[in-house]
Structure 1
């Protein structure tokens, strides 16, 4: 039987967040029903009945499952490498499109900009709905993208290495961004498309995994230094990164931050063999050109809120 390729694939990785996932699936149901769209859910070892619930209540969704967690980067790599779609949308299980007709906006932008390999969206981070959905932001090229909601031109994905699963979490977007830059693919910001990421950022610091998140974030950032930056820049970058953590957190009594910092340094030492095998340094000229790109658009607020 011939496999029919879809134009769009919506890829969602989830683990033990059934309530968030179901809310998202209801919000994007009208997209899943389109004939040129497939939706793939990768259950990464959930124990809350996610797989069984989705299988029974969303039969149109393609399901994959790990019997035990292998990490979301493993899941992302597997879904991206398996899809035959032209464009693959990575969406967190707690994020959904606010803008109507998002697929048409994506297809039109890619058609008009053949050198763009990935699109990042305008993302509103909050448990509450945005007070306004309008924005005066313009499309621009940028350094990197937000993991919670973006879309790949699949020919660009196939031109670079997979996400580094040894990063565990954090940093994979910048890893891919450097690789895309080396291959002359652009990353653009598409503000016409608004995504609501239902996350309380202020509450994250009080979560029990705060130290772990800081550890992973620091180590992934340092991994990126050693993988991609010209060698003369690395000592200064490392010293500055460590000093800022000490000054802004540890010296103010944040002992969880100290724990995360020390463990991140240990992780970096263990990662050195992988860094050596995967390094793809920018030349001095490439680094200067990369630094001139606009910063990644991470967070968006309605304009009346942004001025408060």
Structure 2
């Protein structure tokens, strides 16, 4: 397909760069999903010592089972929920490897060759900070249609499948733990952009996110108001962190417009469309409490920088057909 001419590594050789990868997974009460993901990593040829797992105070038997069946992986156990952002930071900071592959407990790579090509591309340019995989949201994949491969740059990446250079984290800082839940990817992507780094991907390289959205929504609604990880808890952070992003990074002349648009848009989405008014008001109160923090941390785009960044595609721009 002439991938070398486009600056895309060839899939023909899987080099030793795989040994430079650290896999990190934050989990809570998803033992079966987690075991599938770990087993899949090992089946691809990754070593146990390359895998880090943080159990975020699961109430099931996750820590015991993981210790029993995977004694050589790096397992960290929280006694109280800390949130996946803090968990990922702790694992990334403790890693001594060059590249951090972050997976959800219910996501997996499709091949080791895909990982190798992603690492080679990241390693080919000092300005490449994050590799963004495309995501297939299906529990089972029987076959895939061919996708024309090309290198693309994005304004963001998806949390369930991406790779970050450790050197970039050490230089510009790790995830913003004040966010707690949601919004860390776009925040880090903006900081990358402002420091001259890029989020890059190859259309055609994917991770599988083994999720049935209808089933997941049903599970979350059944846990709508039970504290950490409930749908109320999750959605409230989405509201507050979206508004916080605007305060921290958007140009002053554009700030009123985008704040009003976000407030109205999220009110419609949560309060009217999804009947989750409590999430909206809880998130709004949290944003008001954090407004001074956002202003203190404010490092806005210039108007021209903002326009240039806004023109980038959000994630992957192509479509994939599964059969």
Q: Which bin holds the TM-score, normalised by the shorter protein?
A: 0.7 to 0.9
**CA 1:77 to 1:246, structure 2 compared with 1: closer, same or farther past 3 Å?**
closer
TM-score when scaled to structure 1? 0.88
User: Which range moved further: 68-77 or 209-218?
Assistant: 209-218
Alignment RMSD (CA, Å): 2.3
State yes or no: 1:160 paired with 2:193.
Answer: no
State yes or no: 1:297 paired with 2:310.
Answer: no
Match of 1:237 in 2: 258
The answer to whether the 8 A contact 1:133-1:194 is kept is no
Cα deviation digits, residues 129-150 of structure 1 (max 9, x gap)? 2541532252201101001110
Distance 1:137 1:295 in 2: 18
Cα deviation digits, residues 237-279 of structure 1 (max 9, x gap)? 1211222344456456x432x2222222111111123213322
* SS of residue in 1 equivalent to 2:50: strand
The answer to whether the 8 A contact 1:99-1:193 is kept is no
Among candidates 36, 39, 43, match of residue 55 of structure 2: 43
TM-score when scaled to structure 2? 0.84
**CA 1:249 to 1:65, structure 2 compared with 1: closer, same or farther past 3 Å?**
closer
Aligned-pair CA distance for 1:32: 5.7
Match of 1:3 in 2: none
Aligned-pair CA distance for 1:30: 3.1
Match of 1:217 in 2: 238
* SS of residue in 2 equivalent to 1:108: helix
Match of 2:10 in 1: none
Match of 2:11 in 1: none
The answer to whether the 8 A contact 1:99-1:194 is kept is no
Distance 1:251 1:46 in 2: 33
State yes or no: 1:9 paired with 2:29.
Answer: no
Aligned-pair CA distance for 1:222: 0.4
List alignment gaps of at least 5 residues for structure 2: 1-18, 222-229
User: Which range moved further: 106-115 or 243-252?
Assistant: 243-252
The answer to whether the 8 A contact 1:204-1:210 is kept is no
* SS of residue in 1 equivalent to 2:188: helix
The answer to whether the 8 A contact 2:23-2:52 is kept is yes
Distance 2:289 2:46 in 1: 46
Distance 1:99 1:267 in 2: 41
Distance 1:106 1:47 in 2: 36
* SS of residue in 2 equivalent to 1:28: helix
List alignment gaps of at least 5 residues for structure 1: 1-5
> What are the equivalent positions in structure 2 for 1:46-65 lying under 5 Å apart?
46-65=58-77
Cα deviation digits, residues 167-217 of structure 1 (max 9, x gap)? 121110000011101110000123343211011224444432444333221
Match of 1:26 in 2: 39
State yes or no: 1:275 paired with 2:294.
Answer: yes
The answer to whether the 8 A contact 2:109-2:115 is kept is no
User: Which range moved further: 52-61 or 270-279?
Assistant: 270-279
**CA 1:237 to 1:55, structure 2 compared with 1: closer, same or farther past 3 Å?**
same
* SS of residue in 2 equivalent to 1:255: coil
Distance 2:158 2:117 in 1: 18
Q: Tell me the number of residue pairs that the alignment of Structure 1 and Structure 2 aligns.
A: 296
